[in-house]
Amino acid sequence: VGDFIWTGGDVHLYQNHVEQAREQLTREPRSLPTLSLIRTPESITDYQEADIVIEGYDPHPHIKAPVAI
């Protein structure tokens, strides 16, 4: 049959977010982006925004949901 591998953290679904969850489940997965570091500074605190490149980021449209109270 195959393997089922799942990892979750702080997993919950609010009652007023059920329709949004259903919409999310209808979406086709997209390829993950890649992150590249242009240079490696001597200290991690010396990284600058220009040192980091993200390629292939193609998110689905935002799903609006009310704040759960």
Residues 6+ apart with CB under 8 A from 57: 33
Tens digit of pLDDT for each residue in 35-69? 999 999 999 999 999 999 999 999 999 999 998 77
Question: Which of 61, 59, 63 shows the shortest CA–CA distance to 30?
Answer: 59
Report pLDDT for 67. Answer: 87
Report pLDDT for 40. Answer: 93
pTM: 0.64
Q: Is the predicted pLDDT of residue 19 greater than 80, yes or no?
A: yes
